[in-house]
Every structure is written in structure tokens, then in C-alpha cells.
Structure 1
Amino acid sequence: MTIEQLFSQTGPLALALKGYQPRQAQIDMAQVCDSALKHSQQAIVEAETGTGKTFAYLLPALVNKGKYIISTGSKALQEQLYHRDLPTVYKALGSAKKKALLKGRANYVCHYRLNQHVAHVPSDDADIMHQLAMVAKFAAQTRSGDIADCVGIEDDAKVLPYVTSTADNCLGRECPDFDSCFIRKARQRAADADIVVINHHLFFADMAVKDSGFAELLPGADGYIFDEAHQLADIASDYFGETISTKKILAFITDARMLYRSELRDMLQLGKTLDKLESATKDMRLAFGSDGGRGDWRKALTDKALCDAIHRVNKDLAFLNQVLKLCLERSELVEPMLERLITLKGQLDRAFDVSVRGYSYWYEATRYHLTIHITPLNIAAKFKEMLSEREAGFVFTSATLSVNDSLQHFSDALGLSPSRTLMLASPFDYQHQALLCLPRYLPEANSDAMPRALVGICQQVIRAAKGRCFLLFTSYRVMHMVAEVLCQQMDYPVFVQGQMSKRLLLERFTRHGNAVLMGTASFWEGVDVRGSALSCVVIDKLPFVAPDDPLLQARMQDCEQSGGEPFAQIQLPRAVIALKQGVGRLIRDSQDRGVLVLCDNRVITRDYGQVFLKSLPNMRRSRDMNEVNAFLAAID
């Protein structure tokens, strides 16, 4: 059966799906995907919301022979694809292909670590003790071991580091629970399957790191499909680079202390050395001040006090190495612990060698942790080499890949050589379904008066929309300033990012039907609220990366040295893609209607504003808030 027949009015989709109508854009995309997968070529497809891109790449993967890896941008999209979309297509086609869902190791309960911590409770924190009991009960009943299925354990649960493994602390084939290991079983199911649904982080982890005790899984595929492909370049940069963090060191200390308490109790020097290292690690974080933030690591190393704090950690790691060597004959668990320690010390040593060119050396200090990043400025060559090693077809798709009607920025960033490119507009009638408002008389985007102006606009649209608003911000600071006023003055429920997990926030927002949700970067994409629960999206300003961001500065400097235009080639494309993602939250269905309010007058006053407007859906535009009120009042 041809692609046209599969998607026709008499095809399997039409017979299986109530109200199905063939869409030419969907058929065009499916043909491009089919050709790329069959002939081991590269294809790039921008398919805006409503095109039906998921089915357009799923059907070719299911009707063609061979094994296909489908990679999504997040775990939430991964689960939606596996539990909702794939079963629909399988049923329509009557497919017999084996399918599997595979997540990263941090998503599966580790029997060994769970048993160790149940036997030696790691904390007197009541929450952790209660959660340990919940996970232990779940582990005894589950077949998959996927902790997302454990009711009551959220993504940010305190217990997770104690009941899951990392590539550093996994014992691999040496683990006493290897035969019952949930990760091993999940990877085996994936190895046997014809369709495997993963996420981008797992794809790069599998490529960049060969887990000891686990066979390499993904290179055996005949084709790879990357959905939400606009995220690939940034995720690849993380995996092709290197990070060392106080969180990683403290996690090592926790595991070493568990070994000390369970098998090496009489080794008092080990306990004291671990205490000393823990104190030095926390002092290293405090040396960067209480406010945190990002900075240039090269500059940080010119501060003697900071260098001294880091050297103390390095010195304590070296001494701990000597102490652990004395315990080698005492337990078979000491050797893998020693290997982790050597790796940590090597990473910290490399963080001192900032002479390697082509990398950005930067740090990020959060409330509790310090992370040092060594990030490659250009991953195109490495990614191109990675793809060339595999005789397979590659499809890259997303609703937001183009800038100024061109896919060149995306293609260049990953070093792609596509045989076919395709840009498909949304079938939604944006002229009638949506209104874009750029309010008049706003202060400058970075002005101190802007938060007060935002409060006034938000109050106005919330009342007009009867709640039902997303308020998207580019900074936590401004979000909290606006939230402080709205939470006190609005009659509608106001949910603010950070109050609870993202999943719970979205569930409660949708369930209320007239609520307000305030969020930053993570809510700009991957959020799908259809129908009457969302009628208005307010965006505080154009999402340019902060100019003092050390990674951005390094990339711009590298671009300039290569004779490029840093603003046009680095800053502007990233901001355009991010804005398109935020705007995409508004209209998710052919029945949706809503208003987008963009509170940044640079769209009008700066030449580059036209690049943003040209990249957005063709909505009716206004500068009059009265039109916004009238449009919202007319929505049923």
C-alpha cells in the first residue's frame, strides 16, 4: 500500500479514526519521511501545529521493514507517543511489529541501591523514610520498574537519588541484582523491538557513554526519527562536553558513606575523610556567594580565595583515594567506588586546564550546588561524524525549525546534509482563531517600570478571559514580582511554577478551567492544553538569552573570530525559535480560539522585530487592548 493510499479517505486511518480527513501536508511529510528511511538519507521537516506530523512519521516506520528509533524532546512527549499515538496507529494498521519504551537509567528503580538504603536509612528526614517505603512496595509489584508509575513519587521527590542509579554508581555485571535489574530488562526489550521510543538525552548518552555491563543498543537501527528536533544542538553540546558538580561529589560521598557503614565500620579514618571532603565541597559552593548565577570559569580561576577552596576539594579527593586503596581487600564494592573517585578527580583536574580552544568554560551556582561546564562551541562536526558512522535514514522534525523562512540555521548547527527539506504551514485558520496584540505605550523591555506595566496588562486580560491564561516569563525574578500582586488581587486560581511539579500544575490548571498559570522556560514548550481551559497567552518579552551568559558570550566570540555576525547567527535565531515555541501554546486545535499578548515594543521599534513577526503564524494583529477584551469576551 502506497503512502497516498494509507492516508486516503478509504485507507486504514480513515477506517479506524472517527472524523478522519486526509490532509495534503500530512501526506507530503509522510512521503518525505518514507523516502529518507527507505534510502538511508537525511530529511528535515518543519511541520507546524495541526499538520499531523506524528502520524506522518509513524506510518512509514511501521510499514517499512527494519528497526526504527523514535526520539522525542522529553519524557512527557515520549510517554504520550508510546501510550497514545503508537497504539492508535498500530490498531489502524494491524501492525505486528514489536515496540518498546526505553528511558534513561534515572527513571528505573535500582534493586541494589533500594535494598542498601532500606537496610541503612540514609537520612532521618521523614519524607525520605516514607518515600523509601512507597518505592519498596512498588518495586515488589512492578514489572517495568519505571518510577513514573509509582503513585505519590513526583519528578522532584527527595528519595530518587537513593533508589535509582547513575552511570557512575551502577555496578553493571558485578551487581548482585544484575539478573533482576529493571534497566537490563528494559534495554533487552528495546534490543528485541522493531520500534523503540526514546528521548534525545538517552540517544546522546548511549552514543557518548558506553555503560559498563550493558550492550550498546541504538546503532543497530535502520532509521532514526527525531521529533522536537530543535532541541538537539543544545542537548548534544551537553553530552559532547563535560561537567563536574558539587552534586556529583556529594552523591559519591553518600554512596561511600553507605559502604563505610555497612561493610567498613571499623575504618574510622574513612568516615573522617568523607566528613572532611563533604565540608570542603560545601565550602567550595559557598565561595561563589549566596546569590548564585552563571559566570566565566576562566575569570573565576583568577580569584585566589575561589582557587584555594577548589584546591582543598582536590586535595581531599586525593587523600580519600589513598584511604580507599587500603580497603581494596576488604570488599569487592571498593574497586568500583575507587574508579568513580578517580573519574571525579580527573574531571576536576581538567576544569583547571582552561587552555583547550573551541570550548566554553563556565560555571553555574544554584542555591545548593556548583556545576562547572566544559562545553564545545560547535558540535556540527562531531554530530556529522556520528551520523556518518551509521548506515541509516534520519528524519528531523519539529513545529519550530525555521528562522526567516529558512532551515539553514538548524541544518548548519548539526552539520546536516539533507536530501530533502520541507516546510509545512499549520492548517489552522489563525486569522479567525487568534489575535496578536502588541500593546501601546509600554516601557522599555528591561526597564524597572516593566513589572508594574505587566501587572496591569495581566490583570486586564485575566478578567476579560475569566482566568484561562498562561503568563510566560523570561526570568524568575519578574515572574515572582508579578505573581506577588496577582495572587493577592485576582479572584481566579493562580498557579506559579515551583509550587509543585510541572505535571501537577498542568493537571490542576486544566481541571479548574478558569485558572492562571505562570511559568518560565520549561513552560514555553511541550505543554498541550486544548479547548476552553486556555484562551490567552501573555509573553513578557522577546526570549533573548541574557547577554552576560558565559556560554552565549563564548559562542558569539567564536562566531566573530570566524568572520560571522554573532547577533544574526547566534542570538536572533535562538530567540525566534524560543518565541515560536511559546506562541505555539495558544492554538492547539482547529476549535481553539485565543489571544497572544506580546509585551515587548522592540518587535515594533527594532529592525529585527520583522524577523520575529515573519516567523509567527498569520494572526490578525492589533495594538489596542480594547480589541483584546472584545475578542476574549466573544469566546464561548
Structure 2
Amino acid sequence: MFLKAKKSKIPIEPFFAEQLRQKPGMKVREPQIELALEIEDAIIRGKKFIGEAEVGTGKSFAYLIPVINEIIRTEKPGLISTGTIVLQDQLVKRDIPALSKYLNEFGYLDQDIVVYLGKGKEQYMCPQNLDKEIANAIEKELDFTEFIPLDAGLKLGKYDRSDFPDVGIDTWKKVCVMGCSGKCKERGCAYKLYKNQRSLKSYHILVCNHHYLLSCLKDPAFSISSFGTVIIDEAHNLESIAQSIYGISGNEQSFQSKLKQLIAMARSRGMYRKADANSILKYNKSFFRKIKEAALTRDEFEVEQRYKVDIDAKIQEMAQELFRKADRLCDQASIALEFSKSKSEQDKIDRIYDGIYRMLSKIIEYKDNNIFWVDVSRKNGAIQINAVPKNIDEILFRKLFSVNVPVILTSATMSTETSTEGFDYFASGIGIDLIPLPHYKDPVSKKSPYDFSKQAGIYIEQELQYVRKGEAGQALYMQKKADKIFDIIQVTNGKALVLFTSYTAMDTTYSLIAEKISQQMGIKCYKQGMGSRDRLLEEFSRDINACLFATGSFWEGIDVKGPALSCVIIDKLPFPVMDPVLEHKVEKMNISEQDIIRLDMIIKLKQGAGRLIRDETDTGVLAIMDSRASRRYSGLIMDNLPSFKVLKNINEIAPFIGGFKQVV
């Protein structure tokens, strides 16, 4: 889509240093200008480039101006992919509209920049699916209260998943768009409107998430070369998301549910005997029991860990037999549906068949080019088997980096040192290291402009000796550590995000001190799992003295400015547990397990620590409750974190806080 411009190019330095600085609330910093110039250079020369930008650099505007210049020059749209919905919303609702307005005011553009927000079809509600679910529930006299908020929202014109944060994932799966027929007559369907906009390319910038981008790259009809520039923001997530997109997984409950749906279809016309139904469901249980037995683990499975599984001849034989039974069941269900001639139901059978076949075929045709592991669902304890290609880096190189389009990767946490070699771990994982040197621009890292030595302090626990899980005295250690966390929260009067490396540690610590915090301090404590992620963050941000206990995704993507988040407490250094994926990295990169573990830990630690200071007026304390951070790993940690003021003990926290604000 042609972008009407009054000038052929937006000059980066004058625009940032002289014009943008005039706008209220706009803070222009030297690292931002430097990064924008580096990105523009890479784009003009058609290079692939890694540009790390620590918090406060202003990386969004730093890449948006070069992208807009390239749109003007090539008349091709730009593509920006993000790792989180938070950043998507920031770009679509705030950054791009504001920048579009400024560029028109300063005489560079003669129209607003049109943005298309790319989302997968499952992010949209299908009105027909909702009607079917409600009608089915009424016909069978079932409870349909789960659909009431969806029906009410639909009447208000709400279709998007983000409009229904309190609707559970299982309910949403029943009503979301799974397939979209060209014959659909539904008026006002949000998904159809978005799909039409994408097909017509009636936009200047496509903003999407990494899941959407990587899914598109799997589609032969999608061409990345139709874009003038590709920006991968929050690029540190790209590898793990590529594993989920190009990998496959299946668990007993999901298989059982799929099989039961097929059985119901087949038996509706008497095409499947009850004995056969019981047989296949029983065999499914036996298959996953065998998978669990083959997992190389201790007696007890941990929710957060991946366990290597040996795919032996017996497992392959059972997978073949389960597939044979499922294949016959699909045929019976299809024959039964011939009477109803329902295309949507036949599509449903095809999707179920595809889901079962893709997982079982990986096992049946076992090859050494996949990494297999099992893990455990926190929700229901189900054993899940997973497979991911070993050559994820080669896939990303072929699909994304080998195409003659400039690709810019940016994030606050991609390096582990201060030299260019510090990007090797990140680059190796995504395949950018396979790019021939003439097409690659050396990476740069732009440091945060914030004065961390004045804005933030760091306290590292030294007295409490670290005790591993399973070792003698571990329960006492957890109690003492919880007591120290309570002491810190007392000093900061709440306002704390407490991050854990496991659900077990989170649940244990919460049970030890949350009630005491509430009773003695009158401060509310939230814990991950008490509500949706968005709702928890909203309530935590609004309640200025609250505490939030969390793990997993809460280590990143949280942007709470102001006093509501004045303390980040890290329960334990986030060392990963060696698993089949990391073992493959050790072999591929030819480095030691210890090196891989350290590199992974530092990146995760930087992400967690980055939740504290989100603005030049923010202040607070980072507390690391793992004594190993004060000894063996002290130098590594201090070299990779910002220059916090070091607080030697808990007693120094209060005076430090008192130096820049009064505790509310």
C-alpha cells in the first residue's frame, strides 16, 4: 500500500534530536539515535542485524523511523513481530499512531500510517460456533452459563480473545474460529474483516506476534519477500516459539477427548460398537502409561521439567496400533456423517485425524532428527510427549534469514557479555550465525540511559546457605528464606514482585508468609493462578502496596511503572535443569553443560531484574535470595546486570529507599 509522503526520507538525527524532542512527554536519548542509525544502515544495505537495546533506550521509535523510510522508498509494507501482546498493543494503540501524527505535523507524511494487527484465527470468536454450543447445551439440558459472557460480548460487537480475559481456555476453544469457509454468510465477523484486509494488503505496517509470523512462514502461499523490512522485537523468545510451532505434542487427556468426539459421531448412526469404543480408550491409556515408563527420570515427575524418553520398538509398535484403531474410528465417523452432510463436522474429523496422525507418525517413523521428551501438565498432571526438530536453527535460516529482505532482531536481553561474542548463544539458537558474512552486520548493544546507581539498589543474600531440593534441611531452608523475604517486604511496605523458578517454591513460600503479610501489614498478596495473567497484573498495578508471587512468563513482559512495583525479589538463581533440548545445544555448540547452564541463567536473570526500573523516575530494590550469587557467580552476575548500588544487608534497604522517597 502506497504511503503518501511529502519528503523522500525522514532524516534520523534532526528528527529525533530537534523535532521529536519538542513533543510533550517525548524523551529522546543518545542510545536511541545511535540505534536508529545502526538499524537504518542495516536496512539500506539489506543486512541481517542484531541490535540489543536495554530498558529506556526507546527501541520502538528507533526502528519505526527506518521502517517508515523503507516503506516510502520501496512502497512495500513493513512487518513487526513481537513476543508479547503487551508490546503489540503498545505499538498499535500508542507508538505508531503517535509517530504517525508527529510525522504529519512535521510535514513528512500526507496521510496516517495504516496498521494491520495480525492474529491467528483462534484469537477470534465465531458467532456460528457460539450459537451451536448454546443450542446443543439447551437441547441436551446442559449448563451453558460459561457461554453467557461471550453471548453478551458478541451483542456489543466484541469478537477478540482479549475482550474476554475471564473466559477459560477450554470454553474459548469451543467457540473460536477453527476454520473459515468462504461460503460463511456471517455479517460483521471480525475475523473475515481482518482476513480481507490482509489479503488486500491494505496497510503500511503489519504488527503480529512470533506465533503468527512463524505460522505464516509454514504456509507456502506466504512470502516474506513481499515486505520491505522485517523487525523481530523481543527476539529472545524466537527460538522457544519456533520450537512450539515446528514441534508437536500430545497427551493422554487430549487424545482421549479427540477419540471420544469421534466415538460420539460414529455411534450417532450405530457405526461403532461400544466394545470397540472401550477398547480404543483403554489402549490409549496403556500407550501413555508406556510413555511414562520410558521417561528417564526419578520416581517423581516435576511439573516444570522436561524428561528424555527413549522411543524403543515397543513404543513404536503401540503407536502403530493406536493409529490403526484411530484411523478406523475416523472412517466410521465419516461414514456416519454422510447422512447429515455436515461440512463443518467433516472438517472437525479431519482436524482430529491430523492432530493424532502428526504426533503418532513422529513416533512410528522415529528418526534421530527430532528431540523427544515428556513433561507433566500442572493443570491435570497429564503426561505429555513432545517432539521438536533438531535443526530449528536451519529452519529459521531457510524460512527467514536466507531471504533477500533486511531482518532486524532486537530485545533487551540477547547477550551475556559486553563483547560481540556475547551474542553467540542467542545467534546459534535461531540460525542467524549461518548467514554469510556479507549479508550480516555485526551486532551492537545499547545500554540503558537510566542511572541505576541512584535509582536502584541490589541486595544479595549471603548468610543463608543454599540447600538443594531433596537435601537434608531443605524444608528449614525454605522457611528461613521465606522469613527473610517477609522482612524485605516489611521494609518496602509491599510493592513487591516475588519471582520463583518453580511452582513448588512459589506455592510453598506463599503458604508460609502470605497470610502473615495480610494480617500484620494489611497488604494483599496475589499468586499466579488466582486469575488470568492480565487481570492479576491489573489488580497488582492498581493496588499500590500489593505483592505478587509468580513464576514462568512473569519473568518478562511486565511493564509496571511507578511505586506499585518498587521491589523485585528473586527466590533463586534461574538455572535451567539439563534436559534433552539443552543437551542438544551442548552437542551442537561444542561447549560444556556448565557453560550452557550459566548462559541460560544470565539471560533469564536479566529478564527478571528488568522488571524493576521501567522509567527514569522509577526507584526500587532488587533482592536475590540465593547465596550462590554472592560467591561463585558474583562476578558473572554483576558484570551482566546494570550498575545497581550494592546493599550489603537488609538493614541498608530502608535507608536507601528513604533516600529517594518516603515509603507509602
Report the TM-score when normalising by structure 1: 0.87
SS of aligned partner of 1:4 = helix
For 1:582-593, list aligned pairs within 5 A.
Answer: 582-593=608-619
Alignment CA distance shift 1:271-1:511 (3 Å): farther
Report the TM-score when normalising by structure 2: 0.84
1:516-556 per-residue CA deviation (whole Å, 9 max, x = no partner) reads: 11100211100011111121111011111123x34333443
- 2:146 corresponding residue in structure 1: 131
Give the aligned residue type for 2:534.
R
- 1:510 corresponding residue in structure 2: 541
Whether the 8 Å CA contact 1:187–1:217 is kept in 2: the answer is: no
CA distance in 1, matches of 2:322, 2:100: 54
- 1:375 corresponding residue in structure 2: 388
SS of aligned partner of 2:309 = helix
Give the aligned residue type for 1:363.
V
Moved more, 266-275 or 448-457: 266-275
Whether the 8 Å CA contact 1:46–1:424 is kept in 2: the answer is: yes
Moved more, 454-463 or 353-362: 353-362
Matched, 1:427 2:440: no
- 1:444 corresponding residue in structure 2: 466
- 1:163 corresponding residue in structure 2: 175
CA distance in 2, matches of 1:544, 1:122: 51
CA distance in 2, matches of 1:112, 1:86: 34
SS of aligned partner of 1:564 = coil
- 1:598 corresponding residue in structure 2: 624
Give the aligned residue type for 1:442.
L
1:535-578 per-residue CA deviation (whole Å, 9 max, x = no partner) reads: 1111011111123x34333443x34xx6433332x322211110
Alignment CA distance shift 1:414-1:92 (3 Å): same
- 2:597 corresponding residue in structure 1: 571
CA distance in 1, matches of 2:317, 2:637: 47
CA distance in 2, matches of 1:271, 1:195: 55
Whether the 8 Å CA contact 1:443–1:453 is kept in 2: the answer is: no
Matched, 1:409 2:415: no
1:574-610 per-residue CA deviation (whole Å, 9 max, x = no partner) reads: 111100000001111111111111122222332x542
Q: Report the alpha carbon displacement of residue 341 of structure 1 after superposing the two structures with TM.
A: 4.3
CA distance in 1, matches of 2:216, 2:417: 34
Moved more, 237-246 or 402-411: 237-246
Moved more, 424-433 or 269-278: 269-278
Give the aligned residue type for 1:578.
K
SS of aligned partner of 1:225 = strand
CA distance in 1, matches of 2:617, 2:29: 17
- 1:464 corresponding residue in structure 2: 491
For 1:321-332, list aligned pairs within 5 A.
Answer: 321-327=330-336, 329-330=338-339, 331-332=341-342
Alignment CA distance shift 1:124-1:312 (3 Å): farther
Moved more, 503-512 or 76-85: 76-85
Q: Report the alpha carbon displacement of residue 179 of structure 1 after superposing the two structures with TM.
A: 7.7
Whether the 8 Å CA contact 1:377–1:555 is kept in 2: the answer is: no
Matched residues, percent identical?
25
Whether the 8 Å CA contact 1:47–1:424 is kept in 2: the answer is: yes
CA distance in 2, matches of 1:468, 1:283: 49
CA distance in 2, matches of 1:445, 1:155: 40
Alignment CA distance shift 1:355-1:271 (3 Å): closer
Give the aligned residue type for 1:135.
L
Matched, 1:103 2:129: no
Whether the 8 Å CA contact 2:70–2:228 is kept in 1: the answer is: no
CA distance in 2, matches of 1:320, 1:437: 61
Alignment CA distance shift 1:259-1:117 (3 Å): farther
Q: Report the alpha carbon displacement of residue 3 of structure 1 after superposing the two structures with TM.
A: 0.6
Matched, 1:612 2:622: no
Matched, 1:267 2:267: no
Pick from 155, 159, 170: which aligns with 1:145? 159
Whether the 8 Å CA contact 1:29–1:45 is kept in 2: the answer is: yes
Q: Report the alpha carbon displacement of residue 67 of structure 1 after superposing the two structures with TM.
A: 0.6
Whether the 8 Å CA contact 2:495–2:544 is kept in 1: the answer is: yes
1:105-164 per-residue CA deviation (whole Å, 9 max, x = no partner) reads: 2210123422321221299898x722323323433442x7213124xx426344101111
CA distance in 1, matches of 2:381, 2:427: 38
Stretches of structure 2 lacking an aligned partner (at least 5 in a row) = 1-9, 105-110, 294-299
Pick from 90, 98, 119: which aligns with 2:135? 119
- 2:326 corresponding residue in structure 1: 317
Q: Report the alpha carbon displacement of residue 512 of structure 1 after superposing the two structures with TM.
A: 1.3
1:347-383 per-residue CA deviation (whole Å, 9 max, x = no partner) reads: 2433424742232111122125443211123422221
Give the aligned residue type for 1:69.
L
Alignment CA distance shift 1:39-1:267 (3 Å): farther
- 2:372 corresponding residue in structure 1: 361
Whether the 8 Å CA contact 2:96–2:113 is kept in 1: the answer is: no
Matched, 1:484 2:511: yes
SS of aligned partner of 2:137 = coil
| Count, aligned residues | 610
CA distance in 2, matches of 1:483, 1:78: 32
